[in-house]
Amino acid sequence: MAKYSRLHGSVGLISLANPPVNALSSVVRHAISEKVAKAFRDPEVTCVVICGENGVFCGGADIREFASTMRGPPLVPMIDAIEEGEKPVVAAIEGVAFGGGLELALGCHYRIAHYKARVGLPEVTLGLLPAAGGTQRLPRLTGVAPALQLITTGRHVAAPEALKLGIVDQVTEQNTVEVAVQFAKSVVGQALHNRRLSLRQLSCPPDGLFEETMAQIKQRARGAVAPIACVQAVKAAATLPFKAGMDKERDLMATLFNSGQAKALQYSFFAQRSVAKWNLPNGAHSGISKARAVHRAAVIGLGTMGRGIVVSLVRAGISVIAMETNEKQLHTGKKMVIAILEKDAQKHNAAPRADLVHFTERLSDLSNVDLVIEAVYEDMVLKKDIFKQLSMICKPDAFLCTNTSALNVDELAAVTGRPEMVVGMHFFAPAHVMKLLEVVYGQHSSPEAVATAMQLGKRLGKVSVAVGNCPGFVGNRMMKLYVEQAHFLLEEGATPEQVDEALEEFGFAMGIFKVSDLSGLDVGWRVRKEAGLTGAGVDWKEPPRRRQGRRYSPLADLLCEKGHLGQKTSRGWYLYEKPGGRDPKPDQGLHSFLVEYRSKYGLKARRIDKDEVLERCLFSLINEGFCILDDGIASGPEDVDVIYVHGYGWPRHRGGPMFYADMVGLSKVLERLEFYHQAHPDVPYLKPSPLLRKLVRNGSPPIREWREFLKRPHSHL
C-alpha cells in the first residue's frame, strides 16, 4: 500500500509501505495512483514528495506477481500521470530505487537521494527489460552511452555516481524526506516542461555505439536474450519519438516476459535468497540458530586457496593470522596477498589493509583466534595432524573449519576434542573472486557452528549454501560424473573441441576440457590417486579401462604421466603457445594420441552429435543431483542450482541443473538416462535415481513442489 499525509499545509507526502522493499505490487500501484490523483486534486497542495517507508524507496515491480496474471493498474500510465501533472513531484530516494522503483522516480520531476542510496535498472538480470519507460527516459537523462551500459548490465550505482550521471539532482547526508520536502516547496511555480523526461530531445549517440555494444553482448551473454532486447529498446529511444519508443519497449518486454530464460532467472533470484534460510536434519535452522561474531580468524596454508581466503577475510575487515610452514610458500603467499590488497587500495583510493594480516610459520600463534580455516592440500593424514594440534592449541570455543573440497569432515572432526565446533568451509578458486561457499555440516557440527560459517560467508560477500557431508559434497560429487562422461566421449570418438563447443553453446563460459587445462590436470590426478583409481593403490588385476568394478577412462592419467598438465605446461587437452599461455588451440598431437589410444583398446570411433554430448554430460550430473536430494545432502533443488550457477559456471539464464531438468521435462530426462544406462551398463550412475522415478510416477510436479517428495534424513545429532 501507500500512505498519504499533508506536511506544512501544502506538501502532499506519499509513502510506499510494502515491506521489506516496497515492491510495486498491484495494491501498491493502486494506492500510488489514488494518492497522486488526490494530491493533484487538492487545491491546498502545491507540490508532492514520494518516498518509501523503512529507509527503502522501492525495489521495483513485485517479482512474485510475474508468475500469475498481472492485476491492478499498470505502471506505465501511473508514471505518465505523475510526469504530466501540473504540480512538481519530487522522489526522496533512500536505500534503493531499483527497476520499476527507479522508473517511478524518473517519472517524478526531481530526484533527491541519500548519499548511501543506490539506483539501477537490474531487470536484465531477471531476463527482462525496464518496461515502465526506463529504456526511454534514462537515455534522455544521462545520454545514450551511460544508459545503455546500465540497462544492459543491470549495474547499480551509488548516489554520488548517480549525481555525476545526472540521474539524481541532489545528494544529501541529512534526512532525505525533509530535504525533499524543502526542495519541493522551493520549486513550486517553476516551469515543469523541461523536467518531463519524455519531452526531452536525445543528443546523437556516438557512431557505431549500438553495433559495438551488440557485438560485445553477443560474445558475453552466452545465449541470454534479455541484454539484446535491452540494446534494441535503447536504440529505439535514440531513433524514435518517445511514444513510438515506448511501444517498442512494450513489444520487446512481451517477447521476454514469458520466456524460459526469464523464468529461470527469476527462479535463480529467489533460489539465491532461499539458501540463506538453511535447515539441518536435526531440525535446527537459520531462524533459531545464532551465529557468533568472528573478530580474529586464521588461515592455514598459503597456496592458491589459502591466499584467496586471506584476501576475502581482510576485505571484510577481519584480522587474520596467515600461517604456512613452508618458508618459500610463506614468502610467495605473503607477496601475493599484499599485491592484491595494494591493488584493491589503489582501486578504491584507500590505504592498503595489509596491517590486518599477520604472517607466521608457527601454529602456536593461533591460540587466540575465533575461527580457523585450514586450506592445505588434500591429504587426509596431514589434515588430521593439523586438526589434532588445533584442538590443543586453539581456545576452547574457537571454530575449526576445513576448506577440503571432497574429504570427510566427520573424520577430521573425530580427531579433535570438539567435533561440534568443526565444519567445512569449501571455497572455490580463486577464493577472493568466486562467489560460492559450501558450508559442510558433519554429524556433530553444532547449529551455532553452521550459523557462524554461514554468517561469515555472508560477511565475505559469498553466496553460502549449507550441505551435508559426503565425498565431494554437492558440487564436486556431481562434477565428477560430468567430467567422466566427457572423457568417455573422447574414447568413443569425440575431440575436446567438439565437447567444449557443445557445452559453450549451451551457455557455459568454458567447456570442461578448457576448464581442466586452466585448473591443471594434476588436480584431478591427485584426487584419483587418493581414491585408489590410479597410481600405487590400483588393483592391476582389473582390465585397464575398468576400476573398482566399473568403466574407467585412464586418458587424463596418461596425459599427466606425459607431463601434459594444461596451461601451465603449455599442453593438456589443448595446445598453448607457451607455459602459462591462455589461448587454447586444437592439438594435433592429442588427436593422434586419441587415435592410438582407441586402436590400442579396440575402440571404434563414431560420430557423436551435440545432443549426445549435452545429454551424457548434463543428464548424468542432474541424475546425481537427484541422488543428492534423495540422500538429504542438499535440502532442496534450489541449493543444488545455486551451487552450480555460482560455483561451476552453469549459465544463470538456464536456472541450474535441477531447474533445467524441470524445463526439459522429467520424463524425457528419465527416458534418456534409461537409454544411456542400457547402452553403458558398466556406468552405474547412469541408472536413473529413485527420486527421479518417483517424481515422474507422480506426474512430474513442478520444481517448487519437489521438496514434498524428499525423505526427511535421519538425524545423527
Ligand X SMILES: CCC[C@H](O)CC(=O)SCCNC(=O)CCNC(=O)[C@H](O)C(C)(C)COP(=O)([O-])OP(=O)([O-])OC[C@H]1O[C@@H](n2cnc3c(N)ncnc32)[C@H](O)[C@@H]1OP(=O)([O-])[O-]
Residues that bind ligand X (CB under 6 A): 20-21, 23, 59-64, 75, 96, 98-100, 103, 122-123, 126, 128, 130-132, 134, 270, 273
Burial 373-385 (b: 16+ CB within 10 A, else e): bbbbeeeeeebbe
Which parts of 282-326 fold into alpha helices (H)?
304-315
CB of 93 to ligand X, least distance (A): 13
Q: Which of 83, 103, 492, 615 is catalytic?
A: 103
Q: Is 708 a catalytic residue?
A: no
Q: Is 123 a catalytic residue?
A: yes
Distances (CA, A) of 710 to 626, 627, 692, 703: 10, 10, 11, 12
Sign (positive or negative) of CA dihedral 118, 119, 120, 121:
positive
- The answer to whether the beta carbons of residues 280 and 717 sit under 8 Å apart is yes
Which three cell numbers, joined as nine digits, stand for 715? 538425524
Q: Which is nearer to ligand X, 300 or 439 (CB)?
A: 439
Q: Which is nearer to ligand X, 132 or 645 (CB)?
A: 132
CB of 125 to ligand X, least distance (A): 6
Strand 296-300 and strand 371-374: the pairing is parallel
Which residues, including other chains, have CB under 8 Å from residue 538's CB and lie 6 or more apart? 532, 547
Q: Which is nearer to ligand X, 127 or 657 (CB)?
A: 127
Torsion of CA 687, 688, 690, 691, to 10 degrees: 150
Which residues, including other chains, have CB under 8 Å from residue 86's CB and lie 6 or more apart? 40, 192
Q: Which is nearer to ligand X, 116 or 218 (CB)?
A: 116
Quick check: bond before 20 cis, omega within 30?
yes
Amino acid identity, position 414: A
Q: Which is nearer to ligand X, 130 or 143 (CB)?
A: 130
Residue nearest ligand X (C-beta atom): 99
Q: Which of 83, 94, 123, 624 is catalytic?
A: 123
Measured distance CA(171)–CA(117) in Å, rounded: 9
Q: Which is nearer to ligand X, 96 or 695 (CB)?
A: 96
Q: Quick one: which of 508, 624, 524 has its CA closest to 565?
A: 524
Amino acid identity, position 224: A
CB of 116 to ligand X, least distance (A): 13
CB of 64 to ligand X, least distance (A): 5
CB of 269 to ligand X, least distance (A): 7
Measured distance CA(106)–CA(133) in Å, rounded: 9
Distances (CA, A) of 513 to 427, 499, 500, 510, 576: 22, 8, 7, 8, 13
Q: Which is nearer to ligand X, 235 or 334 (CB)?
A: 235
Amino acid identity, position 490: L
CB of 250 to ligand X, least distance (A): 9
Q: Which is nearer to ligand X, 260 or 352 (CB)?
A: 260
CB of 682 to ligand X, least distance (A): 45
Instruction: Give long-range contacts, CB 8 A cutoff, 24+ apart: 597-603.
Output: 597/491, 597/555, 597/558, 598/491, 598/493, 601/491, 601/544, 601/545, 603/491, 603/492
CB of 23 to ligand X, least distance (A): 4
Question: Which positions are catalytic?
Answer: 103, 123
